[in-house]
Amino acid sequence: MTLRFDHAVIVVNDLQQAMVDYRALGFNPFYGGEHVGGKTHNALIVFQDGTYLELLAPTAPALLDNPDPDDRSNFLFLFNEGEGLVAYALYSD
């Protein structure tokens, strides 16, 4: 079985500002959409080889005021430690 890097997830509190910041660093993020349930949305930075960075943010800042750390029905639990790299995914054949 071959494993390869697929994508990394970076949580940010404000998706629009993160997109501006990453553009200033030379990246080209584009809006990916809202996740099921409507509590998070993302932007993607796709590289030539198909791997990508996912910038993940709450759709409303108030959603981070008191998230349930045990609720796995959405991605808000990923924000418990603040902004930054929180996950990565590997692809296998």
- The tens digit of pLDDT for each residue in 21-30 reads 999 999 999 9
Query: Which H helix or E strand runs over 7?
Result: strand 3-11
Over residues 31-48, the pLDDT tens digits come to: 999 988 889 999 999 999
Check pLDDT > 90 for residue 74: no
Kindly tell me the sign of the dihedral angle through the C-alpha atoms of 28, 32, 34, 40.
Answer: negative
Task: Give the C-alpha separation, 39 to 18, whole Å.
Answer: 17
Say whether pTM exceeds 0.85: yes
